[in-house]
Amino acid sequence: MTVVTVGVHIVDILARPVSHIPEGQDTVLVDEIRLTAAGAAAGTAVDLVKLGNDVVTMGAVGDDELGDFLLAVLARRGVDASRLVRRAGERTAASILPIRPDGGRPSFHVPGANLGVTYADLDADVLRTARAVHLGGVDVTFGLGDPAFFELLDALRASGTIVTMDLLSEMPDLLGMARAFLPHVDYVLPNETQAVLMTGAADPAEAARALLAEGPRGVLVTLGESGSLVVTADVTEQVPALKTEVADTTGCGDAYCAGFLTGLLHGQDVMTAARWGTAAAARVATGLGSDVGLTDLDSTLALLQGPPMIDADLRSRAAKVVPGGMYGHLNAALFAPGYPQFFARGEGCRQWDVDGREYIDFMCSWGPVVLGHRHPRVEEAAARQAALGDCLNGPGAIMVELAELLVDTVPSADWAMFSKNGTDATTQALMVARAATGRTKVLMAHGAYHGADPWCTPSLSGTTPNERADLVEFTYNSLESLEAAAATVEGDVAAIIVTPFKHDSFEDQELVEPAFARGARALADRLGAALVIDDVRAGFRIDLRGSWEPYGVRPDLTAWSKAMANGYPIAAVTGTDALRGAAQTLYSTGSFWFSAVAMAAAKATIETLRDTDGIAAMNNAGAQLREGLYEQAKAHGFAVNQTGPVTIPWLSFAGDADLSVAMYWSDACLRHGVYVHPWHNWFMSAAHTEADVARALEGTDQAFAETRARFA
């Protein structure tokens, strides 16, 4: 036996649609009348059984016909009602619910035997065998607010039983009494009105925090069509409702509780269990009454895998208010068709899209998230700074501390300047080089990405030829080509800008030839130009000291960003003493460049990477992924190329010039919970454990199998 529901048992009599109560004795024909087992204990019990749980329900009903009916319905639905007490001479609680055409549901209610339920009516022996106890409506079964019952609940929880609590009334006095239960339950699930009435708080989030402070491990406030708000010590997050054709919302709260509890009993975390609750509620909303629409667990959970309706809705709204609906590198229209555009949250190496689908994330937000989403040390440092202030009249002490950390960590850095994006940093580095040399030309590799300002954006739209006139291109890894490029602008080269390895989109990646790196250094010295390493993408994933440090090649200037602060917005240029004076002459600034929170996050990120050897962790996980993918590709008969450092990996299919195989495979990976990219390199984080990679490889294996079937 698994779950015991305790509390309110009601017979619901529902009619739909009812737009008004007729005058006098008039009759109005309606489409449907139903009688159901309802109430926060009985309704939830029925839903729990449908979701595959064994359920015993406890409480009281009258010895009237409605009581007979309720017992018969519960039995028919598979709920063990043998512990329900029948009170001689009392009425069974019942509601008449004329459902309005818009789903609204006024009610007429007789509380009946529920009001008299006490601890003596419960079977403590059965409760002791339960894996979960759900208290349904203890605000109206106030006889249960008994110290002996609290003691039993505490003992049950100590032995591992999960205790959840839902409420029924919207009466402040009754709800106030139910607060006595809060220290004795694991999760409380009020609706928005109840949460606010119980606490006097201004909004559901504040109310949830107030309820949490009274003892439970979590508070889940149901918000109707806005979904639910989950608040625990670690999480405050809204779970969106699933889009569905709403016929009648009666019983949605009970279904949410049943789905949530079922999720917990299946070992899911609180957020995932909340999504199970959301799916169960969405099922029940489709029909008249407390249990219609809910049939079984699999079809309920399938709703979570269903077409991404929230994403589609957001896309169509965005199309009206954002050019093209989305722009730039995160525009999902540029990837394979199944890619979600909108995301709800991230945790460690996982992300969830707005439709609740979970992915093991190998893009890490296109680089920034290097320690895993919401890394505690980074979040703590950011929150500590945020509590003091972020964007002030000047930088905080943290700017000096962060610059000192960079200077201590990066051998080529004698100073640091901060900004926001990688493009700020590459642009600023070239300004320093030009200020130092008084020259104009910049040598850059053909096809390299250095950002999205007019001088470097890959699309010429919106730029003028003048803005690109000072760039001279060379071929990556060809010293000959670099020297030839320099010769065309002899005497006017301000800088050579180069990425630590070749990571152009749509192409296999190429590690730098050490001779090329050394040759570029020597050429810059010979020309009196600055060697600028654009470490925006690779920085903090190859070597904390700078990505060419292993080759013994030190730049004059380095541009950093992406992984520097685990997702907080910051970029930096570091440089040598020789360029300090030139850097000082620039007027280079921005409204948000000196915000302290991102700086605090950057310091915590770099220190964590250093203290935990985060790069070694990424190397291990990346090597495991690469090896696993090679084996799988071979087993499925695909020739693949895996290129770049294992911490910034990419996989392409041999002969797949139009990327159709890569598009199909990456889309299939998504369907199996793995987020990779068809034409841009991926990123590992220090949060990818061996188990995460092993789980991801299960998904990629299925994706290879499906791709083989498609391209047989």
Ligand X SMILES: Cc1ncc(COP(=O)(O)O)c(C=O)c1O
614 contacts 684 by C-beta, under 8 angstroms: no
Which is nearer to ligand X, 184 or 541 (by Cβ)?
A: 541
The only residue of 112, 451, 519, 644 in contact with ligand X, by rule CB under 6 A: 451
Residue (363 or 596) nearer to ligand X, CB: 363
State the nearest-atom distance from the C-beta of 548 to ligand X, in Å.
Answer: 14
Q: Which is nearer to ligand X, 361 or 534 (CB)?
A: 534
Q: What is the phi/psi pair of residue 669, to 5°?
A: -55, -45
User: Among residues 390 and 453, whose Cβ is nearest to ligand X?
Assistant: 453
Who contacts 222 (Cβ-Cβ below 8 Å, separation ≥6)?
189, 190, 191, 192, 228, 252, 253, 256, 281
| C-alpha distances out from residue 686 to 181, 599, 690, Å | 41, 20, 11
Helix (H, G, I), strand (E, B) or coil at 525: helix
* Binding to ligand X, residues 653-682 (CB under 6 A): none
Q: Rank residues 244 and 499 by Cβ distance to ligand X and give the closer one.
A: 499
Distance from chain centroid for Cα 391: 26
| CA–CA–CA angle 26, 32, 38 (5° rounding) | 110
Q: What is the DSSP string of 183-209?
A: GG-SEEE-BHHHHHHHH--SSHHHHHH
Is residue 362 at the binding interface for ligand X, with CB under 6 A as the rule? no
Span from 224-232, 286-294, 420-428, 504-512 in contact with ligand X (CB under 6 A): 420-428
In the complex, the smallest distance separating the C-beta of residue 534 from ligand X, rounded to whole angstroms, is 5
Question: Left, alpha or beta for 673 (phi > 0: left; psi -120 to 50: alpha)?
Answer: left
Q: Given candidates 57, 423, 642, 707, which one binds ligand X under the rule CB under 6 A?
A: 423
Region of 128-136, 189-197, 222-230, 447-455 interacting with ligand X (CB under 6 A):
447-455
Distance CA 189, CA 229 (A): 10
Site for ligand X in 556-615 (CB under 6 A): 561
Q: Is 329 exposed, middle or buried (0-12, 13-18, 19+ CB in 10 A)?
A: exposed
Residue 368 to residue 366: CA distance in whole angstroms: 6
Residue ranges in 560-652 assigned as alpha helix (H): 580-585, 596-612, 614-635
- For 125, residues 6+ apart whose C-beta sits below 8 A from its C-beta are none
C-beta closer to ligand X: residue 664 or 675:
675
Query: What letter would DSSP give residue 64?
Result: S
Q: Please say which residue, 240 or 678, places its beta carbon nearer to ligand X.
A: 678
φ/ψ of 473, rounded to 5, equals -95, 150
Q: Single out the residue of 449, 476, 664, 665 in contact with ligand X (rule: CB under 6 A).
A: 449
Q: In angstroms, give the least distance from the CB of 211 to ligand X.
A: 41
Task: Give the type of residue at 566.
Answer: N
Asked if 137 and 164 touch (Cβ cutoff 8 Å), the reply is no
CB-wise, 301 or 648, nearer to ligand X?
A: 648
CB of 477 to ligand X, least distance (A): 16
- If binding is defined by CB under 6 A, does position 84 make contact with ligand X? no
Check binding of 437 to ligand X (CB under 6 A): no
Give the DSSP letter string of 90-132. Answer: PPPPEEEEE--TTS----EEE-GGGGG--GGGS-HHHHHT-SE
Regarding 534 and contact with ligand X (CB under 6 A), the answer is: yes
How far apart are CB 644 and ligand X at their closest, in Å?
12
Phi first, then psi, for residue 3 (nearest 5°) are -120, 140
Position 272, amino acid: T
Smaller CB separation from ligand X, 5 or 547: 547
Residue 426 binds ligand X, judged by CB under 6 A: yes
CB nearer to ligand X: give 262 or 647: 647
CB of 522 to ligand X, least distance (A): 23
Residues touching ligand X, count (CB under 6 A): 13
Q: Which is nearer to ligand X, 292 or 430 (CB)?
A: 430
Residue 350, interface with ligand X (CB under 6 A)? Answer: no
Task: Give the residue at shortest CB distance from ligand X.
Answer: 422
Residue 425 CB, nearest distance to ligand X (Å)? 7
- ∠ CA 522-523-527, rounded to 5°: 120
**Residue where the block lists tokens 């979960």:** 132
Amino acid (one-letter) located at 253? G
Q: Which residue, 341 or 499, has its beta carbon nearer to ligand X? A: 499
- In the complex, the smallest distance separating the C-beta of residue 427 from ligand X, rounded to whole angstroms, is 9
Stretch that binds ligand X, among 194-202, 299-307, 421-429, 622-630 (CB under 6 A): 421-429
Among 536, 573, 697, 703, binds ligand X (CB under 6 A): 536
State the DSSP H helix or E strand holding residue 471, giving kind and residue range, or none if neither.
Answer: strand 471-474
**Which is closer to ligand X, CB of 293 or CB of 567?**
567
Residue 674's contacts (CB-CB under 8 Å, 6 or more residues apart) are 359, 360, 362, 696, 699, 700, 703
* Alpha-carbon gap, residue 610 to 608, rounded angstroms: 5
Minimum distance, C-beta of residue 313 to ligand X, in the bound complex (Å): 28
Residue 287 touches ligand X, criterion: CB under 6 A? no
In the complex with ligand X, the residue whose CB is nearer, 423 or 509, is 423
* Pick 421 or 576: Cβ nearer ligand X: 421
The residue range among 195-203, 214-222, 289-297, 418-426 that interacts with ligand X, by the rule CB under 6 A, is 418-426
For residue 80, count other CB atoms closer than 10 A to its CB.
18
Q: Which pair of tokens denotes residue 584?
A: 């000082």
Q: Kindly give the residue spans of alpha helices, DSSP state H, lying in 636-689.
A: 660-671
Q: Which CB, 99 or 532, lies closer to ligand X?
A: 532
What minimum distance in Å lies between the beta carbon of 538 and ligand X? 7
Provide the minimum distance between the beta carbon of 452 and ligand X in the complex, in angstroms, as a whole number.
6
In angstroms, give the least distance from the CB of 582 to ligand X. Answer: 21
CB of 162 or CB of 406, closer to ligand X: 406
Q: How far is CA 602 from CA 15, 253, 419, 487, in A?
A: 60, 43, 12, 40
Residues 55-74 that bind ligand X (CB under 6 A): none
The residues in 494-533 that bind ligand X, with binding defined as CB under 6 A, are 499
Name the minimum Å distance from CB 536 to ligand X: 4
Which positions from 542 through 561 interact with ligand X, judged by CB under 6 A? 561
Taking CB under 6 A as the criterion, the residue among 283, 537, 541, 677 binding ligand X is 537
Instruction: State residue 241 phi and psi, 5-degree precision.
Output: -70, 150
In terms of CB distance, is 16 or 562 closer to ligand X?
Answer: 562
* Minimum CB–partner distance for residue 686 and ligand X (Å): 20
CB of 379 to ligand X, least distance (A): 21
Q: How far is the CB of 4 from ligand X (least distance, A)?
A: 55
Exposure class string for 240-260: b at 16+ Cβ within 10 A, else e: bbbbbeebbbbbbbbbbbbbb
Rounded distance between C-alpha atoms, residue 257 and residue 262, angstroms? 8
Please name the helix (run of DSSP H) or strand (run of DSSP E) that holds residue 11, with its range, or none: strand 10-16
The closest of 96, 104, 111 to 33, measured between CA atoms, is 96
Is 450 one of the binding residues for ligand X (CB under 6 A)?
Answer: yes
CB of 706 to ligand X, least distance (A): 30
Stretch 455-494: interaction string toward ligand X, x if CB under 6 A: ----------------------------------------
Q: Provide, rounded to whole angstroms, the least separation between the CB of residue 450 and ligand X.
A: 5
Report if residue 421 touches ligand X, rule: CB under 6 A. yes
By the criterion CB under 6 A, which residues form the site for ligand X? 421-423, 426, 449-452, 499, 534, 536-537, 561
